[in-house]
Each structure stands twice: as structure tokens, then as C-alpha cells.
Amino acid sequence: MSQIDWSHVKNLVLLSGAGISAASGIATFRGSGGLWENHRIEDVATPEAFNQDPQLVWRFYSMRRLQAGHAKPNEAHKALDAFAEKFNGEITLITQNVDGLHRRAQKKSHLDAICMHGTLEKSRCTHCHEIYLDDMAWLPSEGMPRQTGLLRTDEQANSDALSNYKIKLSDGLPLSPCCQELLRPHIVWFGEEPLFMPKIFASLERCDLFASIGTSGVVYPAAAFLEIAKSHGAETVLFNVESLPQQEHVDLYIQGPAEETVPQQFSL
């Protein structure tokens, strides 16, 4: 298998997807059967679904928070953190994942992931859009704990922790401290704009190596990042466990599980 030559790379952009968290036990999206309590994921991950049935949507995200809270970063997340500490250039890490595992893998570096689809670790006010750190399972199943233990709030000074407030509930769902309106998961749902797009596009324009790790490349706009980076002269690398149509169009295709291939490739 070829090895990435890091010697000439000054500006690296990484895009991670659900595949990087598969070894942590978090089901990938398309592989999961697409059903959740007889609802398609598309039907619980839309603003319309939340307006119609916020209990159902909060129950879905409460379960995802509990699942992420029990998962641990794997060798791929850890290898990126270790690599970032040593790498002598700029790294932009964009993730489509909402599980918080890149953040929790951060031990050595200051590699903050840009969470373009939001995060399970935050909620926001449906009225004024104020964002709070919040990893509670607001509607857990019977016998399940409420707290997920995902957060280290002292290290995230950029938003307030919801646990600092006395929260009022409405039918078991949390109301925002700011407006006393429903809080919603800080997740980008189908039909909503991904976050941080200007920053992401700017990074793609100046990148000289673009690597996509564990993403099926079917969810736009992330699916277009590789071509955009390429059009600005970047070399492209694709990491996936399966064969993908895009592999014909990249400089290097690295097939295998990310938890093995990422530590092999991201070493200096």
C-alpha cells in the first residue's frame, strides 16, 4: 500500500464521516437499516418532525446521546490527534459526525473539529437560537441514566453549560433559560444549512492535500468538498473500508478500516 508523503504538505484538510466512528460502536448512517422505532431517520431528523412531535425527536436524540456517551474514541481519532501535535503545517478537520469523539480524542493537540452537522453535545433555543452545552438524555428509556458524561464543560468556555441553570420542563422536554421556549438538539437536520460553510470553503481553497475518511460521499454539500479541493490544485486521498465510485478520481485510495489505515498513514 502506498504511503502519503507528508514532506511537501503545508495545508491539510480532513473530512471525516460516520466510518471513522464505526470501530467505536456507533452505527453508520446508511448501514444501520435506516429504521428507528419504525420511523425512517429522515423522518425524525427534520425541523418538520420536531414541530410535529418534539417528544419523538428528543427521544431519538436522547438515545443517540447515550450511545455516544458510552462510546470511546478509537485508534483513528487518536492518531489524528497525535499527528496534529507533530505536523508542521495547517490542519483543518471537518467532521460530519455529531458524536463528539474527535473532541474527546484531543489529548495532545489543539485540533478542534469543525462540526458541520452540529453536535450531540449541545442544544439550542428554538426561539433565539442561543446555544448551550448539554449532553443530557432528556427522554431516556426506562432504567437508562439521564447523564451521558460526554461533556467536560470547564474546557468548553465558548458556550454556557445548561447544567448551570435550573431548567424548567414542558412535558419532560427542556425549556431554554433565555426565552423559556423549547430547546432542540444542536444538530443540522435534513433541509437545514450546514454550519461554518464560509470557513470550510476558505480552507478548501488553500488546501494542498485533502483526505476524506469514512464517508460515503452521498450527503451534500460535504460530498462536493473533494472536487472543490481538487479544482484548487489539492492532491486527494480517500479512506474507506469499501470500494467507492469516487476512488477512480483520487490520487490515492486507501482501502481498509480507518482504525487501522489512519494510524498507518498519519505518522510522522
Q: How far is the CB of 243 from ligand NAD (least distance, A)?
A: 9
| Residue 30 binds ligand NAD, judged by CB under 6 A | yes
DSSP line for 61-74: HHHHHHHHHH----
Which is nearer to ligand NAD, 106 or 176 (by Cβ)?
106
**What residue 151 binds from ligand NAD, Zn ion, none (CB within 5 to 8 A, per partner kind)?**
none
Residues 140-199, interacting with ligand NAD (CB under 6 A): none
Q: How far is the CB of 171 from ligand NAD (least distance, A)?
A: 27
- Residues acting as catalytic residues: 117
Q: How far apart are CA 183 and CA 175, in angstroms?
A: 5
| Residue 131 binds Zn ion, judged by CB under 5 A | no
Find the part of the chain contacting ligand NAD (CB under 6 A) among 1-9, 18-26, 134-142, 160-168: 18-26
Find the part of the chain contacting Zn ion (CB under 5 A) among 3-11, 23-31, 121-129, 251-259: 121-129
Cβ atoms of 251 and 239 within 8 Å: the answer is no
| Residue 26 binds ligand NAD, judged by CB under 6 A | yes
29: left (phi over 0), alpha (psi -120 to 50) or beta: alpha
Find the part of the chain contacting ligand NAD (CB under 6 A) among 21-29, 55-63, 124-132, 146-154: 21-29
Q: How far apart are CA 10 and CA 1, in angstroms?
A: 23
Task: Note the helical H segments in the chain.
Answer: 41-44, 47-52, 54-70, 75-86, 101-105, 197-206, 225-231, 258-265
3 state SS of 181: coil
| Residue 105 binds ligand NAD, judged by CB under 6 A | no
